[in-house]
Amino acid sequence: MAALKKETLLEWYRQMVLIRQFEDRCADLYFNSKKITGVYMHLYSGHEAVGVGALGALKETDHVITAYRDHGLALIRGVSADAIMAEMMGKRTGTSGGKGGSMHIASRQHNFWGGYAIVGGHLPLATGLALGARYNNTDEVVVSMIGDGATNNGYFHEALNMSQLWDLPNVWIIENNLVGMGTRIEDSSGQTELHKRAIAFGMKDLGRVDGQDVFKMYEAASEAVEYARKSGPVLIEALTYRYEGHGVSDKTFDKRFGDELKAWEARDPINILAHHITTKYKNMDAELEAIKAETLKVVDASVEFASNSPDPDLNDLVANVYVGRDYDVI
Amino acid sequence: MSSKNISMRDALHRALWEEMERDERVFVMGEEVGKWNGTHKVTRDMLDHFGPRRVKDTPISEMAIGGAAVGAAMYGLRPVAEMMTINFAFLAIDAIINHAAKVHYMFNGQFTVPLVIRAATGWGMQATATHSHMPEPIFAHFPGLYVGCPSNAGDAYGMLKAAIRDDNPVLFTETIALYPKPGPVPDDPDYIVPIGKADIKRPGKDVTIVSFARGVEWSLKAADALAKEGIECEVVDLRWLRPLDTATVFESFRKTNRCVIVEECLPHYSLGSEIAAQIQENCFDYMDAPIKRVSAMDVPLPFAKDIELAALPDEHKVIAAVKEVLG
């Protein structure tokens, strides 16, 4: 792997801090000021190194698709915090015009194909996107994030088998945070080393990667992306941990998993990266603090933007049901 | 316009072939569509002619066939995915309903899904309970999806072309019993049956018969027989269950004031339920008799031939229903 530039490390740091602050603010807006409403919101805190390392290996022309824990990946992809926050608040200026919500953040212009809320439902879509990329004879790859919980439903097996069968440029990344909703991995999977599922498909298995360490994620993803671009699909298992409950409805997460959570927080992905930066380069503390202050401003501004944005109206309610046809609602 | 008499199977084959020749983005995927030449032979010879890039045999993976077709359509291709039969589409129902039908809306128009899912449908072949369904109304329940169900070769040709050329996802079902039936198909490769346009297959003044797919055949036979008794039925072939051409239905009903709905589907929550509800909401003042439905019997389908056929509608049941609404 080529030596990483200081600017790259600082950019990773910026992305990871922005995600953490954004997610913390979302929780605050949901539980305290109630500016974010609804029943679903799944935060990416704890997973930052997985997304930043993996997506850091991509070109702009590559594609990303994920499940409902999607805010962080959208931010990494370069989608504006304003538009994501507006979507969180159901505003017309949101990425999906306020019609998708937290679980359905997408931006076509960033090749970020969305968050999807049916577990595993986006996996064959990723197969199809990769089929399109190959059909059109491009060099694009498709990165798909997969929750550990999704590895046990039929979509996972069908989508990955088809991907291998057709040698499609898919990079499949399992974000194994050890708990699918509330069920631990050992209570849901006969084979808890999830990367080994690749063997069943005849797929290249890049093994289990430390998902707290952005360098290890970047290294594995770079190898995977290069392989997928030239040869075919790859499976990576990133071991990570979620700092919050499954979603906002999960209010007893701390009680159930508190000790384990503390152990994982000791290997916090942002701290690991900060430690690396301050060890490698001198006098970086002030610079890292400045980045934090800058990203906080981005988050503040996003809340301001979203709060002042218009709500969707009744015309929006019936728009985009079909392409090119006014929808005649009964 | 000149036309040729060919079977519905050949009409579909020709439509698909011509669309693949016309548009490089159109490709076929599904179980047995290539080397096997298609379970129903609609895709015969296509693998040889178009090659494996554009004719893709899939594993028996309906969830992935549906989902990958959605992804490829979002990317910009125009997949024509075959579900060997509609019964297997139940395995893909999440991909069809939660993804194909909703992606355009859910992401506020950022993505489109120009996808056709073809599925063979219908029953009456001793295929037994799990292989004997006409569940189109289930799919037509959901906004975002179009549902097309041709009743004859010419419509099948023009409807499939319309479906492939449209930017919305279409579930396109082909009644197995109709595959071999011949009918005139226009020689025009741009012949299109507009999406959402019903067709009056026989004009009449006494009773409106609303039907689609195989039900049209029973309705026309019944209308022929009833004409000999001086009863003139108007047979409306919906062709598309979504968008539903209620304007044509209402116009006919306001003329005849009586209606029978004929469908191969089960009766509860069906097309008949929907049409009856919409007529009473919109044409109450024109109603001279209760609306009557002729549907499949409300049971799972058995193997034994005689009792299976007893559960299926036919022209005799349609005749009886027409006489009932005429009092």
Q: Which one is predicted more confidently, A255 or A39?
A: A39
Residue B134 in any domain: the answer is yes
Per-residue pLDDT band for A257 (boundaries 50, 70, 90) equals confident
Percent of chain A surpassing pLDDT 70: 98
Q: Residue range A108-123: average pLDDT?
A: 98
Looking at residue A249, its pLDDT comes to: 85
Same structural domain for residues B121 and B254? no
Distance (Å, rounded) from C-alpha B273 to C-alpha B278? 9
Same structural domain for residues B117 and B259? no
Residue A43 in any domain: the answer is yes
Per-residue pLDDT band for A250 (boundaries 50, 70, 90) equals confident
Looking at the predicted structure, is the pLDDT value of residue A209 above 60? yes
Residue A274 in any domain: the answer is yes
Whether residue A321 and residue B77 make contact (CB cut-off 8 A), yes or no, is no
Q: Express each pLDDT in A270-284 by its tens digit.
A: 999 999 999 999 999
Of chain B, the end-to-end C-alpha distance in Å amounts to 42
Same structural domain for residues B142 and B231? no
Q: Nearest to residue B87, comparing CAs of B18, B194, B145, B173? A: B173
Distance (Å, rounded) from C-alpha B291 to C-alpha B322? 10
Residue A312 in any domain: the answer is no
Looking at residue A74, its pLDDT comes to: 98
In this complex, the residue of B27, B107, B167 whose CB is nearest that of residue A104 is B107
Same structural domain for residues B45 and B167? yes
Domain end residue (candidates: B155, B186, B217): B186
Whether residue B144 and residue A322 make contact (CB cut-off 8 A), yes or no, is yes
| 3 state DSSP class of B318 | helix
Per-residue pLDDT band for A176 (boundaries 50, 70, 90) equals very high
B184 φ, ψ (degrees, to nearest 5)? -70, 130
Per-residue pLDDT band for A47 (boundaries 50, 70, 90) equals very high
Residue A267 in any domain: the answer is yes
Residue B192 in any domain: the answer is no
Amino acid at B115: L
Same structural domain for residues B179 and B247? no
Residue B118 in any domain: the answer is yes
Looking at residue A325, its pLDDT comes to: 76
Q: If chain B, 327 residues long, is cut into consecutive pieces of 10 residues, what is the mean pLDDT of each piece?
A: 96 98 98 96 98 98 98 98 96 98 98 98 93 96 98 98 98 98 98 98 98 98 98 98 97 98 96 97 98 97 96 97 97
Q: Residue range A190-202: average pLDDT?
A: 97
Same structural domain for residues B23 and B71? yes
CATH number for B227: 3.40.50.920
Looking at residue A2, its pLDDT comes to: 65
Residue A2 in any domain: the answer is no
Residue B193 in any domain: the answer is no
Which chain B residues are Cβ-neighbours of A159 within 8 angstroms?
63-64, 67-68
Looking at residue A256, its pLDDT comes to: 79
Residue B131 annotated to the active site? yes
CB proximity A322 to B under 8 Å: yes
Residue B141 in any domain: the answer is yes
Place of tokens 């034994």: B304
Same structural domain for residues B269 and B248? yes
CB B69 within 8 A of CB B106: no
Q: Which of B18, B19, B31, B62 is catalytic?
A: B62
Looking at the predicted structure, is the pLDDT value of residue A329 above 80? no
Domain end residue (candidates: B129, B157, B186): B186
Residue A57 in any domain: the answer is yes
Same structural domain for residues B173 and B221? no
Q: Residue range A145-166: average pLDDT?
A: 97
Same structural domain for residues B269 and B157? no
Which residue range forms the structural domain that includes residue A114?
Answer: 7-243+251-303
| 3 state DSSP class of B308 | helix
Q: How many A×B Cβ pairs under 8 Å? A: 144
Q: Which of B131, B141, B232, B274 is catalytic?
A: B131
In this complex, the residue of B98, B146, B167 whose CB is nearest that of residue A121 is B98
CATH number for A43: 3.40.50.970
Looking at residue A131, its pLDDT comes to: 98
Distance (Å, rounded) from C-alpha B221 to C-alpha B25? 41
Same structural domain for residues B206 and B161? no
CB proximity A321 to B under 8 Å: yes
Q: Residue range A104-130: average pLDDT?
A: 98
Residue A219 in any domain: the answer is yes
Among chain B residues, the shortest Cα distance to A132 is held by B72
The contacts of residue A129 (CB under 8 Å, 6+ apart) are: A63, A65, A113, A142, B71, B72, B74, B75
Looking at residue A1, its pLDDT comes to: 57
Q: Nearest to residue A4, comparing CAs of A217, A205, A211? A: A217
CB proximity B215 to A under 8 Å: no
Ramachandran region, residue A283 (left: φ > 0; alpha: ψ -120 to 50; beta: rest) = left
| 3 state DSSP class of B188 | coil
Looking at residue A324, its pLDDT comes to: 87
Looking at the predicted structure, is the pLDDT value of residue A233 above 70? yes
CB proximity B147 to A under 8 Å: no
Amino acid at B38: G
Residue B194 in any domain: the answer is no
Which residue range forms the structural domain that includes residue B145?
Answer: 3-186
Looking at residue A330, its pLDDT comes to: 63
CB proximity B95 to A under 8 Å: yes
Whether residue B68 and residue A162 make contact (CB cut-off 8 A), yes or no, is yes
Q: Let me know how many helices (H) and strands (E) chain B has, helices first.
A: 13, 14
Among chain B residues, the shortest Cα distance to A322 is held by B144
Same structural domain for residues B73 and B170? yes
A44 φ, ψ (degrees, to nearest 5)? -95, 0
Residue A270 in any domain: the answer is yes
Q: State the total domains in chain B.
A: 2
Residue B124 in any domain: the answer is yes
